[in-house]
Amino acid sequence: MSAAVALAITDVDVDAELILPKHVATADESIPEPGHRMPEDGPDMRFAMPIDAMLADLRPFTEDQDEVGYIERWRSHLQAIGGSVLLHYDRDGERDLTFGLPCDPQVRHRSRWAFYLFADLEAQPSRRDVLMHMLKRDGLFWDERRTDAAAVTRAMREFIRTGGRILITPEGELTEGGGAPRVLTHGTSTEVDDVVHANRNYFDVRRRLRADGQIKRAARMLGRRTAHGWIVLEAQS
């Protein structure tokens, strides 16, 4: 592996094999034959692109600061070794990544490729958020969040009543916008507190509860559509 590629991996020296976890193959460990193939087994690692070549292939995206292009290529390399990754929401709405590999005679080498791919991903912290966004967009997530339709409705009503705007983009993504409510600069301290509380509660509910589908349905039913294809749900003036 080239020095340039090795230096691109934050806090990881690919030549210092002793840092590798015990389940990861070392550089001098030969790749075994796959044996009897099962449908769930991954590609034969004897014919996989070398890991240093994969990392070198990712470098132009880093140099161009193209994080979307980087993640798309990174996912293709992970898939090429039989790996999979899902976005996971726990019951409190915290996000994480769940990673899997086929468990076959070549799993130690799959783990070696995956170890360096994930090390390279983590070299730029913002890449994790881009990956999570793309997994959510593609429906590749595991969601354990609770649901509470009444709480979501209350949070939406208070958010809109205090000047919030709920938007659906032409691509169907849920977002919020429209600038800060005027009351934040011209209202009483009580009115400001109401706005702050409503905003915090709305975004907390959206994070903790499985709320996006309900919010989208309400926005499509009650909101107005703009000439540019946006849907806007806000308080009537």
Residue 146's pLDDT is what? 93
pLDDT digit string (tens) for 98-153? Answer: 999 998 899 999 999 999 999 999 999 999 999 999 999 899 999 999 999 999 99
Q: Report in angstroms the alpha-carbon separations of 125 from 65, 119, 151, 193.
A: 13, 11, 33, 34
Write the burial class of residue 44 (CB in 10 Å: 0-12 exposed, 13-18 middle, 19+ buried): middle
Higher pLDDT, 178 or 233: 233
Out of 143, 168, 192, pick the residue that ends a domain: 143
Given the DSSP bridges, would you call strands 166-168 and 174-176 parallel, antiparallel or unpaired? antiparallel
The residue to which tokens 């912290």 are assigned: 125
- Domains of the chain: total: 2
CA distance 209 to 149: 9
| Residue 192 and residue 211 in one domain | yes
Residue 76's pLDDT is what? 98
Task: Let me know: does 174 contact 168? Beta carbons within 8 Å.
Answer: yes
Supply the DSSP symbol for 33. Answer: P
Out of 76, 110, 143, pick the residue that ends a domain: 143
* Size of the chain, expressed as the number of residues it contains: 237
| Residue 90 and residue 158 in one domain | no
| Residue 84 and residue 170 in one domain | no
Minimum mean pLDDT among 10-24, 127-141, 164-178, 179-193: which range?
Answer: 10-24
| Residue 10 and residue 123 in one domain | yes
DSSP output for 219-230:
HHHHSEE-TTS-
Minimum mean pLDDT among 4-18, 20-34, 169-183, 202-216: which range?
Answer: 4-18
pLDDT digit string (tens) for 74-101? Answer: 999 999 999 999 999 999 999 999 999 9
Supply the DSSP symbol for 169. Answer: -
| Residue 42 and residue 119 in one domain | yes
pTM of the complete model: 0.76
Residue 36's pLDDT is what? 74
Given the DSSP bridges, would you call strands 166-168 and 224-225 parallel, antiparallel or unpaired? unpaired
Nearest to 110 by CA among 52, 14, 57, 46: 46
| Residue 56 and residue 107 in one domain | yes
pLDDT digit string (tens) for 21-54? Answer: 999 999 999 999 987 766 667 899 999 999 999 9
| Residue 123 and residue 162 in one domain | no
CA distance 157 to 161: 6
Percent of the chain with pLDDT over 70: 89
User: How confident is residue 3, by pLDDT bands cut at 50, 70 and 90?
Assistant: very low
Out of 101, 117, 143, pick the residue that ends a domain: 143
| Residue 65 and residue 124 in one domain | yes
Residue 6's pLDDT is what? 30
* Beta-carbon contacts of residue 107 (< 8 Å; ≥ 6 apart): 23, 101
Domain containing residue 10: 3-143
Inform me whether the pLDDT recorded for 181 exceeds 60. yes
Instruction: Provide mean pLDDT across the span 156-172.
Output: 95
CA distance 16 to 40: 32
| Residue 115 and residue 69 in one domain | yes
CA distance 3 to 128: 25
What's the token pair of residue 184?
Answer: 């934040």
Across 129-153, b (16+ Cβ under 10 Å) vs e yields ebbbeebbeeeebeeebeebeebbe
| Residue 185 and residue 69 in one domain | no
pLDDT digit string (tens) for 193-224? Answer: 999 999 999 999 999 999 999 999 999 999 99
Given the DSSP bridges, would you call strands 141-143 and 84-89 parallel, antiparallel or unpaired? parallel
The C-alpha angle 133, 139, 145, rounded to 5 degrees, equals: 80
Residue 34's pLDDT is what? 84
| Residue 82 and residue 190 in one domain | no
| Residue 66 and residue 116 in one domain | yes
